[in-house]
Amino acid sequence: MFKAGIDQDALIAQFAKASAQQGDALRKAVSQATLKALQGRELTLANIRSVLKAVTQAASAGAAKSPLPAVDVEALLTKAFDGMDAALLKAVQAQRTALQQFVDQGVELNNRQLKGALANLEKMEDVLFATVAKAAEGAGSALKGPWAHVLQTMKLEGTGTGAMAQVSVDKLMAQAQVALREGRAAGLRGAQALMGSYAALASGVLIGMSEALQSADGKAERKPTRK
């Protein structure tokens, strides 16, 4: 069953059959599935929440079927969260690249749409935690404890998404101030037209980033080993 671009049946099967030693493979599968789903839609908060919800539900349904002891099931859920975090980090990078283009073209910080985009970027980690927590509520009593511990631990450790989002916002704001001082301010109508394409542009950037990574991985795999 596909939901929000996620093949939930495939993820459920992977989590249900995974051994304790396959955590890294699960993390990669979750990251790839999440990233692929995000690429298929504009990078709006609603779409991001929809994808994260679908992934969490699938991971939970699969983990609930796992014969592993509770401690190992919790480890699998941690890998699921890590995979979503890794994919969302890429989405943050794509949004930063898209916003960078608008800042470079003189869209000012007081532009309503730019301010909203930066605010959404800054709270991306909160979106990750809140969405996973809400989706995990329907996972059943056996997984409530493990999910709660995973989320508590990750909040203490911090996420790659949160760190990247904060750095991105700080740099974009600083660069916008420089652009303003240098007089590179876009007109109101032009700024609105530019920002109107932000979500679509960010999605395109994310697709390009993924294709570049896949190309690099393919070249690395084909590279002959030295004797």
What are the tens digits of pLDDT across the range 122-166? Answer: 999 999 999 999 999 988 888 999 999 999 999 999 999 999 999
pLDDT score for 35: 92
pLDDT score for 224: 44
Which residue, 196, 193, 198, is CA-closest to 172?
A: 198
Residue that has been written with the tokens 């911090």 in this structure: 158
Percent helix / strand / coil, the chain, rounded to 5 = 80, 0, 15
Question: Coil, strand or helix: which one is 66?
Answer: coil
pLDDT score for 111: 72
Which residue, 208, 176, 169, 170, is CA-closest to 191?
A: 176
